[in-house]
Amino acid sequence: MAQKKMASIITLSSVPFLMVLGNSMLIPEFPKIKSVLGISQFQVGLLITLFSASAAVTILFLGYISDRIGRKKIIIPALLCYGLGGAIAGTAAIIFENPYPVILGSGIVQGVGAAGTGSLAIALAGDLFKTKERSEAMGVLEAANGIGKVLSPVLGAAIALIAWYALFFSYAALSLPIAAAVWFFVSEPQAKGSPEPFAQYLQRIKKIFDKKGVSLLFTFLGGIVVLFILFGTLSYISDILEQKFTLHSLARGAILSVPLLFMSSFSYLTGWLLKKKGKHYKLSLVIGLVIVTIALIILPFCNTVWVYPLTLALLGLGSGFTLPALNTLVTSATANEQRGGVTSIYGSVRFTGVALGPPTFTLLAEISEKVMFFANAGLTAASAVLIFLFLKEKILLPDKETNPKSEI
């Protein structure tokens, strides 16, 4: 990569890094937050659910706007909105006797901010890089996402030693320098021509789905399933580590960082390998989902604490195989002018997976732990089969004759 482009992708990688802190830093502290606020496991899971649900809705609109006015003009205000939500939550925890409703509301504000960040950073990286380089760029972005997840459980536990609500203030403290870095160090390609009317824009998006819809929908399936499983599992395991093994927050954070470390490492490695090969995206997806299925089948039989890091490492390994391939296929499926819209639909799907994971796992766990893990193992196995049968890799990758603007 050229030096200027490398600076852009490194700066852009700080955006998903910050976004994962919104969820991953809180998860190891769920037991403490439950205790302090006097709420249930389901209620504490709503902190992630409302954050992710508001992001899933908002991102659909911001994708179109970013295609019209530019990605940076959305990403920077969104980062500031994300920080504002954290400041509101932290302040509420200090001044209100029962801050839970305000903290839930601040999660919605943060979710709106998150909607204009991670997925649009992926779209902007897609604008900046050609197809082969794009695989490596997507690997870097997912690696940054994973590094944020690796660091955030331990970082969250350390910050919570000051005060549990200090976690929220940390979002505000980090969003300001990252917004400034995006402003100064990321150069965005100039749009060609004037923005098209909304009706025409929707027509172009429709044409993309008419031509590539089946394969795109199965990439979306992969995205929602992987994030659903990852956050549902981590939320549940955090509670198990505290209730069953009485581990303190730093130990919980260290164990929960293991799958995220593997996901980060293999996201970068997978992106690099896919760049070299320029193919095998579907194979990478299927292998990743099979590995996640194996991890879910093993988890209900973990009876000693040391087995959890090993099994969770499999979960991270599988996620690391899937996400860079998914990102590359989605960003390569369309020209720059519609990439924000299609990528934002994909981002909405990913946020939906994160939103549904914790409450669904909690409800299934009330039946039994084995039902919870085996049902989700069936979901990932079925997804792997469907993707193998119906996703057509060549349909999503750029074709210079039919999609000349996909190569930049």
Dist. CA 160–CA 352, nearest whole Å:
27
Say what the pLDDT of residue 299 is.
95
- pTM value is 0.77
Average pLDDT value for the chain: 84
Residue 105 tokens read as 């509301």
The residue with greater pLDDT, 228 or 205, is 228
**Secondary structure class of 151 (helix, strand, coil):** helix
What angle (nearest 5°) sits at the alpha carbon of residue 296, between those of residues 292 and 298?
115
Judge contact between 59 and 344, C-beta under 8 A.
Answer: yes
Give me the pLDDT at residue 400, please.
42
- Residue 198, in any domain of the structure: no
Per residue in 146-201, pLDDT (tens digit) is 677 677 778 888 888 888 899 899 988 989 999 999 988 887 877 655 666 777 77
DSSP string, 228-250: HHHHHHHHHHHHHHHHTT---HH
What is the rounded distance in angstroms from the CA atom of residue 181 to the CA atom of residue 202? Answer: 32
Q: Where are the beta strands (DSSP E) in 173-249?
A: none
Tally of residues, the chain: 408
In a domain, 406, yes or no: no
Amino acid letter at 174? Answer: L
Task: Kindly state the tokens that stand for 195.
Answer: 């923005």
Q: What CATH number does residue 340 fall under?
A: 1.20.1250.20
- Supply the DSSP symbol for 334: S
Q: How far apart are CA 194 and CA 371, in angstroms?
A: 54
pLDDT at residue 316 greater than cutoff 60: yes
Domain range holding 266?
Answer: 7-182+208-399
> Does 195 map to a domain?
no
Please indicate, yes or no, if residue 200 is contained in any of the structural domains: no
Query: Does residue 253 fall inside a structural domain?
Result: yes
Q: Is residue 99 part of a domain?
A: yes
Mean pLDDT of 62-75: 84
Closest CA to 180 of 85, 84, 75, 87: 75
Residue 115 pLDDT more than 80? yes
Inside any domain, residue 245: yes
pLDDT at 103: 94
Number of structural domains (the chain) is 1
- Is position 273 within any domain? yes
For residue 322, give the nearest of 369, 263, 275 by alpha carbon: 263
Other residues' Cβ atoms within 10 Å of the Cβ of residue 253: 26
